[in-house]
C-alpha cells in the first residue's frame, strides 16, 4: 500500500486511539487537514517548490505509524546530544512520546510542557483555539499531514514581561525499535510581550534504522519580544527530516532562526516568516556542511507586509563527495511595506566534482522605497591563502579546515549561547575531520 | 525654474502616444483564420518549398498539437486563441525586385515614418537590411556587396530554395521542434525570416540588420532567424521590431537560432519596440520568443537586448557553451510601463571546459507594470573552471509596479566560480535633489539617472542602435514618477 493511502487509512484509528473529544475544535482541524492532505498528496518533483528535492525514495519505505510499545532510554544514551553543561529546561521525546523522567518542565514562570496535555485540558482551550494551526495552516500537504496526526510536541507559553532564566532544549529521539518509523512532532510556542526566550531543537536517531520525521513548529512572537531559535541537524545517514517552521511576529519584535545542518540523509527546512506589525526584525542564518550523499534543502520565505521592517538572511554551505545542497530563499515585499530593508546572502563552496548546489534566491518586490538585495556565490578556497598557511607549517588539511571555518564564522558568531557555540564549533571540526587542538 | 510636478509628469505620460502606431494601407494577401494541417501545407506551398521542408513543418505541427501552452512564467494575459489567427499575411505585389525603386511607395513611406528609410540607410549608413513585414521579407539591401565576401544574407524562404543544404543541416539544430510550445508552433507555420551565413575566416564588414513589423490586424507573426558563423568568422546582427496600435492583442512568436563554430563570434542585438498597449493596458503585442545560440570551441555569442515594447514579453535568449573556452554574454534592459509585463532573462548552459558567461540585466518598471528577471546558470559536472558573473538590478518607479527576480543556479563542478547579485532600488530623492539643485529639471534628471543605470548595457549596443535605444528609453519612461 502506498504511504499516502496508508496514512489516510490510519487516520480513523489514530482519532479513536486518542482521547480527543469528537466535538472539540481540534478534531475539526484534524479532519480538515487530512482532507487537504488527501487532495494534495505528497509533493512531487513537478512541484516548483520541490524541483530539487525528490521524496520518492523516502516515501517507498513501509513506515510504522504508531508505537507498538513505549520505549525507554537511559540518561547516558542521550547525554551526548544534550547540552549538559548548562542549566536548561529539557523536553525529551522518545519515539514521539514524552519522557517525563528525563525532562525538566515548569509551570512556574511560564508554561514549558507538552502539547498533548495542552490539547486535552480545558484550561488551555482558549489558547489552542487562538493559536494552534493558525499560521501553519494547510498551505502545504506535509504540514497538513502533521496537523492531522498531531499528538505530541513541545508546548511553550511565555507570559508577558518574562525573561526565561535558562534556555529550553527540545530533543526528539528515535530508538529504532521499529525498522522504519515515521514521527510527526508538533511544537507550539507563544512568546508574550517584552519577553525573551532561547530554544534549541534537535532530532536524533539512536540506531541505524530508518527514521522519517515530519515536524511542524509554530512560533508566535508578540510585541517587542525576542526569540532565538537554534536547530541542530546532525542525524545519522538513515534519517530524514522535513521541518516546517512558521514564525509570526508582532511589531518591534526580533526573531532569529539559526539552522545547523551537518547530517541526515535528506533534510528539508521550510522556514516562513510572517509580519504583523511595523519595525520587525527577522534573522535567518544557516550553515550546511555535507558529505557522502547527504541532501539538504533550505527553503525560506519572508513576507514583508508592513513598513519599516528588516530581514537579514545568511546561509553558508560546504558540500563534499556527492552531497547536494539546495537553497531557495524568497523575499516578498508587499506594496504597503515601504522602507523595507531585506538582505539575503548565500555562499557556497563545492569541495569536489560530484557535489551539487542548486540555488534560487528570489525577490518579489511590489514597493518602491525599499532596499533589497541578494547575493549568491559558488566558489573554491583561495589557493594562495592555502599556500600561505602551508608555507608557515600548517598542514594542508588543517589549513583547509581553518579557511572553511572562517568561511562559516559569520554565522557561528551569531550564536548567543556560549556553550552552544562550543558545541557547534566542535561539530564543525568533527565534520571537517580535524582536531585543531585549540578552541576555535 | 518651472514647477514640474509629479502630476504634470503623470499627465504627460498618459497622453504620450505610441510614436510608431500607424497602419500602412497596403493590400495584403492574407490566409483564412485558423490552423490545421492544410494551412501548414498551404504556407509551405505558397513558399514553393521542397518536400523535406513541408514534412518538417507538418512534423512540428503534430508535435505542437500534443503540447500545452506553458503558464509557469510570472505574467498574466488572456491566452491567444490559436484558431482565431491568420497565419500568413504578405503585402501583395511580391515579385522579384531588383532595386529599391520598385518597392511600393506606400511601404517606403512606412519606413520613412519609422525613421529607417531604406534609401537613406543605403546611402548614409553601412547597414545591410532585411525587412520583414507581417512575416514576409520585403527587401534585402546590400546583397551584392555581401555576396562578394561570400556572405549569404537573405530571407530564409529564399535560402530554402537556394541553399537547402545549409538550411536543412542547421534549422532546428539549436531550438528543436520539440523545445517548447511556441517554438513548435513557429516551426510549423513560420512564413519568413532572415538567413545568414558567414564563411570561414570572414569578418562581416557591416552590421546586418532585420527589421520586423506587424502591420495587418488579427495576424500572428512567426519569423525564423538562422545565423551561422563558420570557423573564425565574425558578425554583428541587429534586429528591430515595431507594430501599429491596435485594440486586439497580436501574437509574435519568433525563433532565433545562432550557431557559432570554432573561434567564431556572433553579436546579436535587439531593440524590441512592439506596440505595448495603451495606458489602460488594452491591446499590445504578445511577444513569445525563443532565442538560443550554440558556441563551439573558443566561440563567443553575445546577446544584447533593449526591451521597451510588447504587452507581454516572454523571452530568454540563451547560450549553450558546448565548446571549450567558449564565452556567452547577455546584456539586457527591460523597461515596462503602464500595464506591460515582462518575464525575461537568459540561460547559460556551461558544458565545455573553461567557459565563461556574463549576465547583466537591468529592469526598470513604472506604472502598473511587472518586470521579472528569470535566469538559469547551469554548470555540468565536466565543465571545469567555468566562470559566471550575474548582476541584475531593478529600478522601481512608483509603488504600483513590481520587480521580481527568479535566478536559478545549478552547479555540479567544484572548480567553477559563480557570482550572482541583485539589487532593487528607486531613484533616490537625494539624487533628484542634486540634479534639481544644479538646474536640471526633474524629468531630465530621471532620464539622466536611468541612462546612467542602463549605461553598462547601452554601451554594448552598436552605434546606430545605441542612439535609438537611448531615445526609446526616454520615450518609455517619460513622465514616470520619480
How many other C-beta atoms are found inside a 10 Å radius of the C-beta of residue B69? 12
CB pair distance less than 8 Å for B405 and A380: no
- B308-324 CB burial, b ≥16 within 10 A, e <16: bbbbbbbbbbbbbbbbb
pLDDT tens digit sequence for A76-125: 888 888 887 788 888 888 888 888 888 888 887 788 888 877 777 778 88
Distance of alpha carbon B277 from the chain centroid:
18
Paired strand residues for A345: A314, A375
Which residue matches cell numbers 551584392? B144
What pTM value is reported for the model?
0.82
Q: Are residues A252 and A289 in the same domain?
A: yes
Q: Are residues A145 and A245 in the same domain?
A: yes
Ramachandran region, residue B337 (left: φ > 0; alpha: ψ -120 to 50; beta: rest):
beta
Task: Report residue A412 as a C-alpha cell.
Answer: 557561528
More confident site: B410 or A439: B410
Q: Are residues A152 and A71 in the same domain?
A: yes
CB pair distance less than 8 Å for A366 and B402: yes
Report the C-alpha gap between B293 and A44 in whole angstroms. Answer: 32
Q: Give the best residue of A52, A345, A365 to mutate against chain B (max B CB count within 10 A).
A: A365
Q: Are residues A157 and A114 in the same domain?
A: yes
Q: Are residues A329 and A435 in the same domain?
A: no
Note the pLDDT of residue B98.
43
Q: Are residues A226 and A333 in the same domain?
A: yes
Closest by Cβ to B420, choosing from A356, A368, A375 = A375
B421 to chain A, any CB pair closer than 8 A? The answer is: yes
Note the pLDDT of residue B142.
67
- Bridge-based pairing of strands A111-114 and A97-98 is unpaired
pLDDT tens digit sequence for A327-370: 999 999 998 888 899 999 999 998 888 889 999 988 888 888 88
Q: Are residues A402 and A254 in the same domain?
A: no
Q: Are residues A402 and A422 in the same domain?
A: yes
Closest by Cβ to A368, choosing from B398, B410, B415 = B398
Residue A229 in this model has a pLDDT that exceeds 60: yes
Q: Are residues A237 and A144 in the same domain?
A: yes
Residues of chain A found within 8 Å of residue B405, distances taken between Cβ atoms? 361-363, 374
Secondary structure class of A41 (helix, strand, coil)? coil
Residues of chain B found within 8 Å of residue A372, distances taken between Cβ atoms? 423-425
**Cβ contact B61:B141 at 8 Å:** no
- Domain range enclosing A61: 3-397
Residue B176 in this model has a pLDDT that exceeds 80: yes
Give B125's pLDDT tier (boundaries 50, 70, 90).
very low
B396 to chain A, any CB pair closer than 8 A? The answer is: yes
Give A201's pLDDT tier (boundaries 50, 70, 90).
very high
Residues of chain B found within 8 Å of residue A364, distances taken between Cβ atoms? 402, 404
- A362-394 CB burial, b ≥16 within 10 A, e <16: bbbbbbbebebbbbbbbbebeeeebeebeeeeb
**Cβ contact A183:A204 at 8 Å:** no
Q: Give the best residue of A363, A371, A373, A381 to mutate against chain B (max B CB count within 10 A).
A: A363
Note the pLDDT of residue A19.
55
CB pair distance less than 8 Å for B412 and A355: yes
Instruction: Point out the domain boundary residue: A397, A412, A430.
Output: A397
**Cβ contact B220:B253 at 8 Å:** yes
> Number of folded domains in chain A?
2
CB pair distance less than 8 Å for A358 and B408: yes
pLDDT tens digit sequence for A14-39: 777 765 566 677 778 888 888 888 88
Residues of chain A found within 8 Å of residue B409, distances taken between Cβ atoms? 357-360, 376, 378
Q: Are residues A132 and A251 in the same domain?
A: yes
Report the C-alpha gap between B229 and B153 in whole angstroms. Answer: 12
More confident site: B43 or B229: B229
Q: Is A194 exposed, middle or buried (0-12, 13-18, 19+ CB in 10 A)?
A: middle
Residues of chain A found within 8 Å of residue B408, distances taken between Cβ atoms? 358-360
Closest by Cβ to B417, choosing from A338, A362, A378 = A378
Tell which residue, B210, B182, B154, B138, has the closest CA to residue B312: B182
**Cβ contact B210:B129 at 8 Å:** yes
Amino acid at each position: 500500500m502506498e504511504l499516502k493511502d496508508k496514512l489516510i487509512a490510519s487516520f480513523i484509528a489514530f482519532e479513536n486511539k486518542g482521547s480527543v473529544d469528537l466535538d472539540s475544535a481540534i478534531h475539526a482541524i484534524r479532519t480538515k487537514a487530512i482532507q487537504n492532505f488527501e487532495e494534495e498528496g505528497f509533493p512531487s518533483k513537478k512541484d516548483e517548490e520541490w524541483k530539487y528535492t525528490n521524496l520518492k525514495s523516502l516515501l517507498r519505505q513501509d513506515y510504522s505509524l504508531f508505537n507498538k510499545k513505549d520505549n525507554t532510554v537511559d540518561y547516558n544514551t542521550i547525554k551526548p546530544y544534550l547540552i549538559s553543561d548548562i542549566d536548561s529546561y529539557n523536553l525529551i521525546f522518545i519515539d514521539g512520546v514524552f519522557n517525563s523522567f528525563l525532562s525538566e518542565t515548569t509551570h512556574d514562570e511560564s508554561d514549558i510542557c507538552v502539547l498533548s496535555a495542552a490539547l486535552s485540558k480545558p484550561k488551555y482551550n482558549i489558547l489552542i483555539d487562538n493559536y494552534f494551526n493558525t499560521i501553519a495552516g494547510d498551505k502545504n500537504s506535509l504540514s497538513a499531514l502533521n496537523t492531522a496526526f498531531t499528538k505530541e510536541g513541545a508546548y511553550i507559553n511565555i507570559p508577558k514581561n518574562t525573561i526565561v532564566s535558562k534556555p529550553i532544549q527540545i530533543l526528539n529521539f528515535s530508538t529504532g525499535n521499529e525498522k522504519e518509523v515515521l514521527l510527526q512532532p508538533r511544537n507550539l510556542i507563544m512568546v508574550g510581550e517584552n519577553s525573551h526566550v532561547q530554544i534549541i531543537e534537535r532530532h536524533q536517531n539512536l540506531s541505524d534504522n530508518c527514521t522519517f520525521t515530519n515536524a511542524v513548529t509554530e512560533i508566535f512572537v508578540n510585541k517587542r519580544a525576542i526569540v532565538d531559535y537554534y536547530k541542530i541537524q546532525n542525524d545519522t545517514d538513515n534519517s530524514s527530516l522535513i521541518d516546517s517552521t512558521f514564525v509570526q511576529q508582532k511589531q518591534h519584535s526580533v526573531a532569529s532562526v539559526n539552522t545547523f545542518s551537518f547530517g541526515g540523509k535528506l533534510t528539508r527546512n521550510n522556514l516562513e516568516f510572517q509580519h504583523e506589525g511595523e519595525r520587525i526584525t527577522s534573522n535567518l542564518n544557516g550553515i550546511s556542511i555535507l558529505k557522502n550523499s547527504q541532501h539538504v534543502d533550505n527553503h525560506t520565505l519572508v513576507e514583508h507586509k508592513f513598513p519599516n521592517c528588516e530581514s537579514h538572511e545568511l546561509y553558508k554551505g560546504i558540500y563534499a563527495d556527492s552531497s547536494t545542497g539546495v537553497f531557495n530563499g524568497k523575499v516578498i515585499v508587499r506594496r504597503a511595506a515601504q522602507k523595507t530593508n531585506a538582505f539575503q546572502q548565500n555562499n557556497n563552496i563545492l569541495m569536489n566534482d560530484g557535489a551539487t548546489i542548486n540555488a534560487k534566491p528570489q525577490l518579489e518586490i511590489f514597493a518602491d522605497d525599499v532596499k533589497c538585495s541578494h547575493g549568491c556565490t559558488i566558489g573554491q578556497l583561495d589557493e594562495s591563502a592555502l599556500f600561505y598557511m602551508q608555507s608557515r607549517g600548517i598542514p594542508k588539511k588543517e589549513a583547509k579546515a581553518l579557511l572553511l571555518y572562517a568561511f562559516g564564522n559569520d554565522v557561528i558568531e551569531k550564536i548567543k549561547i556560549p556553550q552552544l557555540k562550543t558545541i557547534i564549533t566542535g561539530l564543525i571540526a568533527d565534520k571537517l575531520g580535524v582536531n585543531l587542538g585549540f578552541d576555535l | 525654474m518651472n514647477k514640474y510636478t509629479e502630476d504634470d509628469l503623470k499627465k504627460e505620460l498618459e497622453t504620450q502616444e505610441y510614436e510608431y502606431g500607424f497602419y500602412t494601407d497596403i493590400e495584403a494577401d492574407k490566409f483564412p483564420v485558423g490552423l490545421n494541417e492544410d494551412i501548414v501545407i498551404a504556407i509551405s506551398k505558397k513558399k514553393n518549398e521542397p518536400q523535406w521542408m513541408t514534412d518538417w513543418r507538418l512534423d512540428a505541427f503534430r508535435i505542437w498539437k500534443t503540447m500545452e501552452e506553458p503558464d509557469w512564467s510570472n505574467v498574466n494575459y488572456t491566452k491567444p486563441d490559436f484558431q482565431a489567427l491568420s497565419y500568413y499575411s504578405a503585402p501583395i505585389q511580391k515579385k522579384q525586385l531588383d532595386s529599391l525603386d520598385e518597392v511600393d511607395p506606400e511601404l517606403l513611406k512606412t519606413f520613412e515614418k519609422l525613421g529607417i528609410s531604406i534609401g537613406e540607410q543605403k546611402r548614409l549608413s553601412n547597414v545591410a537590411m532585411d525587412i520583414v513585414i507581417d512575416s514576409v521579407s520585403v527587401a534585402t539591401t546590400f546583397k551584392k556587396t555581401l555576396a562578394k565576401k561570400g556572405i549569404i544574407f537573405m530571407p530564409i524562404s529564399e535560402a530554402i530554395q537556394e541553399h537547402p543544404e545549409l538550411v536543412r543541416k542547421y534549422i532546428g539544430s539549436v531550438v528543436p521542434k520539440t523545445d517548447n510550445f511556441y517554438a513548435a508552433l513557429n516551426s510549423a507555420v513560420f512564413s519568413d525570416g532572415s538567413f545568414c551565413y558567414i564563411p570561414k575566416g570572414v569578418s562581416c564588414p557591416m552590421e546586418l540588420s532585420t527589421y520586423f513589423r506587424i502591420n495587418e490586424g488579427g495576424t500572428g507573426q512567426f519569423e525564423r532567424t538562422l545565423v551561422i558563423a563558420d570557423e573564425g568568422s565574425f558578425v554583428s546582427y541587429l534586429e528591430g521590431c515595431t507594430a501599429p496600435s491596435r485594440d486586439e492583442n497580436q501574437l509574435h512568436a519568433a525563433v532565433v537560432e545562432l550557431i557559432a563554430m570554432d573561434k567564431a563570434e556572433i553579436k546579436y542585438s535587439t531593440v524590441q519596440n512592439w506596440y505595448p498597449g495603451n495606458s489602460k493596458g488594452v491591446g499590445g503585442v504578445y511577444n513569445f520568443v525563443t532565442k538560443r545560440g550554440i558556441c563551439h570551441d573558443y566561440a563567443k555569442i553575445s546577446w544584447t537586448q533593449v526591451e521597451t515594447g510588447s504587452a507581454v514579453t516572454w523571452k530568454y535568449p540563451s547560450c549553450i557553451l558546448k565548446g571549450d573556452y567558449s564565452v556567452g554574454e547577455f546584456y539586457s534592459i527591460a523597461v515596462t510601463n503602464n500595464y506591460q509585463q515582462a518575464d525575461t532573462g537568459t540561460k547559460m548552459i556551461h558544458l565545455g571546459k573553461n567557459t565563461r558567461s556574463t549576465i547583466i540585466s537591468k529592469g526598470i518598471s513604472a506604472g502598473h507594470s511587472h518586470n521579472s528577471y528569470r535566469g538559469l546558470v547551469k554548470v555540468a559536472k565536466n565543465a571545469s573552471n567555468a566562470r559566471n558573473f550575474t548582476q541584475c538590478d531593478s529600478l522601481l518607479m512608483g509603488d504600483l509596479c513590481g520587480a521580481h527576480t527568479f535566478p536559478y543556479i545549478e552547479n555540479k563542478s567544484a572548480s567553477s566560480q559563480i557570482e550572482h547579485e541583485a539589487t532593487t532600488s528607486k531613484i533616490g530623492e537625494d539624487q533628484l535633489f542634486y540634479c534639481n539643485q544644479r538646474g536640471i529639471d526633474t524629468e531630465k534628471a530621471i532620464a539622466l539617472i536611468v541612462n546612467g543605470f542602463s549605461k553598462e548595457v547601452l554601451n554594448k549596443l552598436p552605434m546606430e542602435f545605441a542612439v535609438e535605444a537611448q531615445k526609446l528609453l526616454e520615450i518609455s519612461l517619460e513622465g514616470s514618477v520619480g
